[in-house]
Amino acid sequence: MQEYQYSAKFYDPLLAPFIRPIRHRIITVVKRYRYQSILDVCCGTGDQLKLLKAHGFDGEGIDISDAMLSVAEKGDKADCKHQDATEMQYKDASFDLTMTAFALHEKNHISARKIIEEMVRVTDENGDILIVDYELSKKTSALSKKLIYLIEWIAGGEHYQNFKDYIDRGGLPALLSGISLTEVKRYYFGQHGIVLLLLRKQKS
């Protein structure tokens, strides 16, 4: 996949200051619920996996961009594999935490929905699903909205069209509608422009 071919190298240096507090909150959640097996879906540069490793947690990730995966190989190498998140090669119920950050808003509705369904499939019964993504509401500050639109506009093309469609459809609640998950926790970041949702898979 050609996406992120040029931006992969700059992704962490540019976005780390904004994303770091979220990455650290994820560590707090992982410590609190003592997950043993963790999958980071659309793991990008592996930044979250590297931080998990630094805190003594093993996790693995999947991503479709070779450029992002080659950054993940560098430094304290993250365990990231090349896989399409809409068709994962894992068995059902393989992980007790499946997470994804900042990936769903840039996919078209059908692909984003497929990624969530795949995340649910590979998560254990009573396991958790953690999603970080944009949530724009009346509570979101004007500055935060402007910054988010600017970042997405710079990303451009299909990415920006998909982001706008994600917002117009109603963001995560629309993507998650009809999927049987129970909310455990939610945290807001970026002046209420970003949400971290922790959801639990219900026994079927």
Ligand X SMILES: C[S@@+](CC[C@H](N)C(=O)[O-])C[C@H]1O[C@@H](n2cnc3c(N)ncnc32)[C@H](O)[C@@H]1O
Which residues would be at the binding site for ligand X (CB under 6 A)? 3-4, 42-44, 47-48, 62-65, 68, 84-86, 101-103, 107
In whole angstroms, the minimum distance from the beta carbon of 128 to ligand X comes to 17
- If you search the block for the tokens 């009573």, which residue do you land on? 126
Give the list of residues 6+ apart from residue 155 with CB closer than 8 angstroms, or none. Answer: 7, 106, 163
Q: Which letter does DSSP use for residue 123 in this model?
A: E
Closer by beta carbon to ligand X, 3 or else 79: 3
Closer by beta carbon to ligand X, 161 or else 182: 161
In whole angstroms, the minimum distance from the beta carbon of 20 to ligand X comes to 11
Closer by beta carbon to ligand X, 115 or else 181: 115
Cα gap 182→168, rounded to integer Å: 24
172-175 contacts at long range (C-beta below 8 A, 24 or more positions apart): 172/104, 172/131, 172/133, 172/135, 172/197, 175/104, 175/109, 175/112, 175/113, 175/116
Closer by beta carbon to ligand X, 15 or else 93: 15
In whole angstroms, the minimum distance from the beta carbon of 193 to ligand X comes to 15
Closer by beta carbon to ligand X, 4 or else 95: 4
In whole angstroms, the minimum distance from the beta carbon of 92 to ligand X comes to 19
In whole angstroms, the minimum distance from the beta carbon of 32 to ligand X comes to 20
In the β-sheet with 194-201, what is the strand arrangement from edge to edge?
80-82, 60-63, 38-41, 95-101, 123-134, 194-201, 181-189
By residue count, the chain amounts to 204
Helix (H) or strand (E) holding 196: strand 194-201
Comparing every residue's Cβ against ligand X, the nearest one is 44
